[in-house]
Amino acid sequence: MEMDFKTIHKSEKWGGHYNFGIEIKVAMDRTLTEQDNLLMYRIADEIEDKLMRETVRLNPEEMTARIDESAKLMECFSGRNVYAIPIENGYCKRWCCSMKPWYRVTTSKGNIVIGWRKRVIHIDWEYGPDADELFPNEDVTKMGRMIHAWGYDKAKAYLDVILSQ
């Protein structure tokens, strides 16, 4: 006797560097409920996330980009004696950003968190004056001890000011 499998979830996604599709089939003796359907969406999302994280991790171009980005972010600290550890991307937790970590950088002035957020570099620091006081003439996103830098040159300039306090 063969079971009668029915597709209970199917999705296909194209775009960027990666394409992904999933189809889930089930054979059972009852009608699916709305709760079952919601569960399938969660399961499919989790499968996609795990498989695509590994896909991105195995991509040599992504690894090269990660190493390059890390080196450029650390260059913003102008050769200061710092210790940096990668942390989860503070802006995007999805698989697409899994190879774009942020960094917690220990400096003589306390910890600084730095990382790309879309097209800007997010910088926040623990101690000292806030962004409005340090950068009153900068027309960028600022909040408390956080500022967004438009590129590596601006990030370096902001870090020079923060670390000179």
What are the sequence ranges of the domains in the chain? 6-58, 64-163
Give just the sign of the alpha carbon dihedral 137, 138, 140, 145.
negative
CA distance 143 to 133: 11
Q: pLDDT by residue for the chain (165 residues), tens digit each?
A: 899 999 999 999 998 778 999 999 999 999 999 999 999 999 999 999 999 999 999 999 999 999 999 999 999 998 889 999 999 999 999 998 888 899 999 999 999 999 999 899 999 999 999 999 999 999 999 999 999 999 999 999 999 999 998
Amino acid at the residue 125? W
DSSP letter, residue 33: P
Question: pTM for the full model?
Answer: 0.82
Give the angle subtended at the CA of 89 by the CAs of 87 and 95, to the nearest 5°. 115
